[in-house]
């Protein structure tokens, strides 16, 4: 599910930002990963990473939990940019555009009713600055995304599936153990007893 959410965010930014940016991609590592932001051939850029997640119980009877995941959307803008198509766009334009496109989005109903919730916008500084970062404006926008996850019944494994869109396809793809589907419900027998007064 986390991969689906990341892909949906990237896809929406690709479609919505148009020529405002030259590169949109997922990166791995925290905000201290200087190379992810500064060693890119193309500016202006937007990068996305999962920060952290926490989980709370919603219903113990149904093995239902809510996962709250925090995503960082990092906006990188070069103050000195020779590209004519980008000369009128600054870091504030990029921040606004990302917030406008993502805030409240439920991403094909993958997320709960609140959708992507913006939490903070802050600059990223590298100390000491180097030749690759001195002309860059880098800001990180933090979003929170909540969605339900369901545990398995005790001692059970996911069912085998060939559906690549099914989150449990991961287990089938890598030959994990699986449980047989429950027998289909076909009939119900009801005994009615007459009670004498």
Residue 75 lies in a domain: yes
Alpha carbons 108 and 161: distance in angstroms, whole number: 22
pLDDT digits (tens, 9 = 90+) for 134-177: 778 889 999 999 988 888 888 888 889 999 888 788 889 898 89
Question: Residue 152: what are its φ and ψ, rounded to 5°?
Answer: -90, 155
Alpha carbons 42 and 44: distance in angstroms, whole number: 6
At 143 the pLDDT is: 96
Residue 123 lies in a domain: yes
At 77 the pLDDT is: 85
Q: Where are the beta strands (DSSP E) in the chain?
A: 23-26, 45-59, 64-78, 117-123, 136-150
Residue 114 lies in a domain: yes
Q: 40 with 76: CB under 8 angstroms?
A: yes
Residue 189 lies in a domain: no
Residue 160 lies in a domain: no
Residue 58 vs residue 133, higher pLDDT: 58
Q: What is the separation, in whole angstroms, between the first and last Cα of the chain?
A: 59
Q: 165 with 179: CB under 8 angstroms?
A: no
Task: List Cβ neighbours of 82 (8 Å cut-off, separation of 6 or more).
Answer: none
Residue 193 lies in a domain: no
Which three-class secondary structure state does DSSP give residue 159?
A: strand
pLDDT digits (tens, 9 = 90+) for 103-129: 999 988 888 889 999 999 999 887 666
102, 95, 50: which is closest to 75 by C-alpha?
95
At 82 the pLDDT is: 45
Residue 39 vs residue 19, higher pLDDT: 19
Residue 41 vs residue 131, higher pLDDT: 131
Entry field: residues in the chain: 197
Our count of domains for the chain comes to: 1
Residue 165 lies in a domain: no
pLDDT at 9 over 90: yes
Q: 39 with 82: CB under 8 angstroms?
A: no
Residue 140 lies in a domain: yes
Q: Domain of residue 58: give its range.
A: 2-154
CATH code: domain of residue 136: 3.30.2000.10
pTM (two decimals): 0.78
């Amino acid at each position: 599910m986390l991969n689906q959410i990341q892909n949906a965010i990237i896809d929406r930014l690709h479609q919505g930002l148009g020529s405002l940016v030259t590169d949109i991609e997922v990166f791995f590592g925290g905000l201290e990963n200087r190379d992810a932001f500064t060693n890119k051939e193309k500016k202006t850029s937007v990068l996305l990473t999962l920060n952290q997640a926490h989980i709370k119980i919603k219903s113990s009877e149904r093995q239902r939990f809510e996962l709250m995941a925090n995503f960082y959307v990092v906006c990188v803008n070069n103050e000195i940019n020779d590209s004519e198509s980008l000369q009128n766009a600054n870091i504030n334009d990029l921040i606004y555009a990302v917030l406008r496109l993502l805030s409240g989005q439920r991403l094909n109903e993958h997320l709960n009713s609140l959708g992507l919730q913006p939490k903070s916008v802050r600059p990223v500084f590298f100390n000491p600055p180097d030749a690759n970062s001195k002309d860059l404006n880098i800001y990180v926008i933090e979003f929170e995304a909540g969605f339900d996850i369901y545990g398995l019944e005790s001692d059970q494994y996911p069912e085998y599936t060939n559906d690549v869109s099914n989150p449990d396809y991961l287990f089938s793809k890598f030959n994990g153990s699986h449980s047989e589907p429950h027998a289909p419900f076909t009939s119900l027998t009801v005994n009615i007893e007459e009670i004498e007064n």
